[in-house]
Structure 1
Amino acid sequence: MAARVNREFLRLLAVLLLTCAAGWFFKSHCMAGGWTDLEQYTTGCYSDAVPFWGGRGVAAGEAPYFQARMEYPVLTGALIWAEGGAARLVFGGSAGAIHFLGFVTLANTALAALLLYLFWCEGLDRRRLWAWAAAPPLILYVGHNWDMLAVGFAAGAMLLARRGALARAAAVAGLGVAAKLFPILLLPLLGLQALFGGTRSGWGARLLRASALAAAAVGAWALVNLPVALAAPENWSEFYRFSGARSGTAASAWEIFTAFGWWRTTIPERNLLAAMIFLTGASAIVALGWRRHRERLWVLFPPVLAWFMLTNKVYSPQFDLWLYPLLLLTAPRLWPVALFLVGGIWAYFAEFWWFAGIEGAALAASHADIALAALLRGGAMLWLIADALRLPPPQWLSFPRQRLQSAQTAERVDVTAPA
């Protein structure tokens, strides 16, 4: 039985590696002669690795923040620097953007495999494991950029919270914020759980636990940020300035409203209104989900994140990768997750074909195409938010944490855990 369990995991891993290999071919097929005839848009093979190789000092080996600009947080900048160094080390003077893309894909594949292993060890049911191993977002984004690092931290923090290790979950989420900002949305839920999550201890003990969570999160974030912030404050802060100053992306609700003349806003107005709408909706999600999820408030992180993505002024295509593995952990049912995937794939190509049209390519999409795709995806996300509030979470969350160390445990998880 143990051998059968191991074979099952190896099959999952093999499929995940094939999925990531498909992602590599999807991004690299247009690299042989360099991007020509706007094929990076018309075929969807665009990757941030290409402009970063020459435009952020990666090819020259410049240290991010200290020698080169970097519009990512510190841990992501460090990963970019390491991948560029690996490309130059292996390929020497002949290293180019395609080699850098290869190491970006390898690193993201390793992170995806690590998540698969963690999901397996935690007893995630079989259909959801296969849904991650064959995930369409991995094909689209395993070579797209570096958001997989923050996704790994976010999912890891949720799994630690499931074990009741709230301080460690807060520290891992803090590291996630040092890679990308969105894991910060998990921290208030962990704090509320420490204060109110089914505990009968006095307020002094509750406040002490919440303070320990805050210290763990801030300490982990500061450990990697403060040295860079003190040594290179201008370049370190570029990510935060860039996030505040940018207008939006074509598939965000704000840009869609503007494109059709429904609601025009300045960037400061958009920043303020988006924050207000998000905070109002997130508060409602927590309030409505309180009774059902009080003892595991971290389950509300995916719906809160989905609401953030819907209300934010920026919805880049790879944001779908933020949400998808978290939905596999917590979504009560998989049909709206599948609809989310369909809308996300449609939005991906609609947005890049819109870029192609702007540049004069024959294959082009319109704002209406983007709006329809965003409407489908957004409808699925609202459905997922509603499901999270009105339905019980998937049954695997109610099981004791499984390590799959015995044949009986493996059989119980594989046979009885529904999707």
Structure 2
Amino acid sequence: MTERWTQRIDPRWVLALTCLLGWAFKGHCGAAWGGSIQYVTGCYSDAVPFWGLRGVSAGQVPYLEARMEYPVLTGLLIWIEGFVTRTVFGASATAAHFLFVVAAVNAALAFLVLRMLRRAGVDRARQYAWAAAPPLVLYLGHNWDMLAVTFAVAALLSARSGDTPRAASLAALGSAAKLFPVLMLPLLGLGALFSRGGGSVARRVAMSSVLVVVAVGSWALVNLPVAAMAFTNWSEFYAFSSERAGTAGSVWEILAQSGWWATTIPERNLWSAALFIGGAALIVAAGWRRHGARPWILFAPVLAWFLLTNKVYSPQFDLWLYPVLLLTSYRLWPVAWFAVADVAAYFAEFWYFAGLDGQRPAATLSDIALAAGFRAGAMLWIIGAALIRPAPHWIETAPSSTDDVHSIATLPNLRRYGRQ
């Protein structure tokens, strides 16, 4: 019965419905927020304040004319979306129109991810898990992290097909949209350096060196011109990340608010970096025996550990991890646990902000800690399972095509998608 159902309903139709729900979730508030509706209903979106506060409505160029606390490819995407909004809606364009364009572009990226999954031979259950992803409902109109997510998925699929230089380039470009894809690069380098079938030591060193050059070159290609013209604004993302104290859902803030361990910003920077590096090294060492031939599989547990130890855990960070888990997790039920916990943590955090404004429903810091603990339990289970479980079945089969992971930047391909 389940097989007949999955064969009868195309995942693309499911994804279309999910995207509509995602737009309705964020768009129903419009841009005239009152009574803390953005927290009460959870419809908060970075697009609304960015429209006026980052010069998007005025057409200012990010970094050169306006501040931007995002890496350069995300800044470019924001400028393009602002241009489209002003062109389509003219003088009457508002933040609500900009929010619609942001959600529409993210929906296109979500369809591109689904297409890559289909062409790579990912099993149908995982396609449905992406098509009906709760994080897409929560974050489709939230901000611009889908761009880096798309690069990360493309990089993983390139690595799976054996094209590690392309995977390194895509991961580096992804880190020029949001930093987290950079965590894949050491895994690709270690795989090239210690590959069991990689030939002589000199050949393996040469291959790993090529990956370093490709990654650095790809990142520099889009970053250096902007850094040369507007270094202060270009570097704001990195300065802002270093100077942030933390967010309510991070373990550091929960410990501080509970009175267990209060830390200053420099202390959080130090301890979070030390715990992440040490834990990531242990994860790679423990998982190497099973996944040494495909070390990129360990990107999922390394990323999960990064989120757990980082001083900042914004709600949309769960969108980073969710598709990576779909690609690499042996079983899907821990991923479902993670998705349910993501919804709980999302509303706990926003309802906490609603309570601060005297609105209802209201949550407490204890509610946030409970939801974050439930999510952390899922992530720790996922990390442990990744080290002892084999790769999922779809990874063992040869990819049917790598064309789509090679054309991450060719969004016009989506026009042909409906005719295939």
Q: TM-score range by the shorter chain?
A: over 0.9
2:366 alignment partner, one of 350, 368, 373: 368
Deviation at 1:391, TM superposition (A): 0.8
**Whole-angstrom CA distance in 1 between matches of 2:205 and 2:65:** 43
Gaps of 5+ in 1: 1-6, 406-419
Aligned twin of 2:10: 11
Aligned twin of 2:26: 27
- Provide the secondary structure at the position in 1 that maps to 2:57: coil
- Provide the secondary structure at the position in 1 that maps to 2:249: coil
Q: Are 2:82 and 1:84 aligned?
A: yes
Deviation at 1:199, TM superposition (A): 2.1
Q: Which shifted more, 330-339 or 239-248?
A: 330-339
Aligned residue identity for 1:192 = L
1:298 alignment partner, one of 296, 299, 302: 296
Report the TM-score when normalising by structure 2.
Answer: 0.93
**Whole-angstrom CA distance in 2 between matches of 1:359 and 1:240:** 31
Deviation at 1:304, TM superposition (A): 0.1
| Cα deviation digits, residues 50-86 of structure 1 (max 9, x gap) | 0000000000000000000000000000000000000
Aligned twin of 1:409: none
Aligned twin of 2:210: 212
**8 Å CA contact retained: 2:47, 2:143:** yes
Aligned twin of 1:342: 340
**Whole-angstrom CA distance in 1 between matches of 2:210 and 2:164:** 9
**Whole-angstrom CA distance in 2 between matches of 1:393 and 1:160:** 16
**8 Å CA contact retained: 1:47, 1:144:** yes
Report the TM-score when normalising by structure 1.
Answer: 0.93
2:226 alignment partner, one of 213, 224, 228: 228
| Cα deviation digits, residues 79-134 of structure 1 (max 9, x gap) | 00000000000010000011100110111001100000000011111111001001
Aligned residue identity for 1:16 = L
Distance 1:292 1:357, change over 3 A: same
**Whole-angstrom CA distance in 1 between matches of 2:208 and 2:95:** 45
**Structural mapping, 1:134-283, within 5 Å:** 134-283=132-281
**8 Å CA contact retained: 2:161, 2:402:** no
Aligned residue identity for 2:299 = F
2:108 alignment partner, one of 103, 110, 121: 110
**8 Å CA contact retained: 2:121, 2:394:** yes
**Whole-angstrom CA distance in 2 between matches of 1:61 and 1:9:** 46
Distance 1:37 1:123, change over 3 A: same
Aligned twin of 1:398: 396
Deviation at 1:203, TM superposition (A): 1.3
**8 Å CA contact retained: 1:70, 1:235:** yes
**8 Å CA contact retained: 2:192, 2:198:** no
Distance 1:404 1:13, change over 3 A: farther
Identity percentage of aligned residues: 61
**Whole-angstrom CA distance in 1 between matches of 2:95 and 2:402:** 41
**Whole-angstrom CA distance in 1 between matches of 2:311 and 2:107:** 29
Q: Which shifted more, 300-309 or 350-359?
A: 350-359
Deviation at 1:14, TM superposition (A): 1.5
**Whole-angstrom CA distance in 1 between matches of 2:283 and 2:29:** 43
Aligned residue identity for 2:120 = E
Deviation at 1:401, TM superposition (A): 1.1
Q: C-alpha root-mean-square deviation of aligned residues, in Å?
A: 1.5
**Whole-angstrom CA distance in 1 between matches of 2:154 and 2:112:** 10
Deviation at 1:243, TM superposition (A): 0.1
**Whole-angstrom CA distance in 2 between matches of 1:287 and 1:249:** 30
Deviation at 1:318, TM superposition (A): 0.2
**Structural mapping, 1:282-321, within 5 Å:** 282-321=280-319
**Whole-angstrom CA distance in 1 between matches of 2:315 and 2:171:** 22
Aligned twin of 1:326: 324
Q: Which shifted more, 94-103 or 358-367?
A: 358-367
Aligned residue identity for 1:302 = A
Aligned twin of 1:73: 71
Deviation at 1:403, TM superposition (A): 3.8
- Provide the secondary structure at the position in 2 that maps to 1:295: coil
Aligned residue identity for 2:238 = Y
**Whole-angstrom CA distance in 1 between matches of 2:28 and 2:217:** 43
Aligned residue identity for 1:78 = L
Aligned twin of 2:410: none
**Whole-angstrom CA distance in 2 between matches of 1:13 and 1:28:** 22
1:95 alignment partner, one of 71, 93, 96: 93
**8 Å CA contact retained: 2:348, 2:368:** yes
Deviation at 1:197, TM superposition (A): 1.9
Deviation at 1:242, TM superposition (A): 0.1
Distance 1:207 1:296, change over 3 A: same
Deviation at 1:281, TM superposition (A): 0.5
**8 Å CA contact retained: 1:251, 1:370:** yes
Aligned twin of 2:127: 129
**Whole-angstrom CA distance in 2 between matches of 1:220 and 1:9:** 42
Gaps of 5+ in 2: 1-5, 404-420
**8 Å CA contact retained: 2:276, 2:306:** yes
- Provide the secondary structure at the position in 2 that maps to 1:201: coil
Deviation at 1:8, TM superposition (A): 5.7
**Whole-angstrom CA distance in 1 between matches of 2:347 and 2:195:** 43
| Cα deviation digits, residues 226-247 of structure 1 (max 9, x gap) | 0000000000000000000000
**Whole-angstrom CA distance in 2 between matches of 1:326 and 1:196:** 23
| Cα deviation digits, residues 271-301 of structure 1 (max 9, x gap) | 0000000011000000000110011000000
Deviation at 1:202, TM superposition (A): 1.2
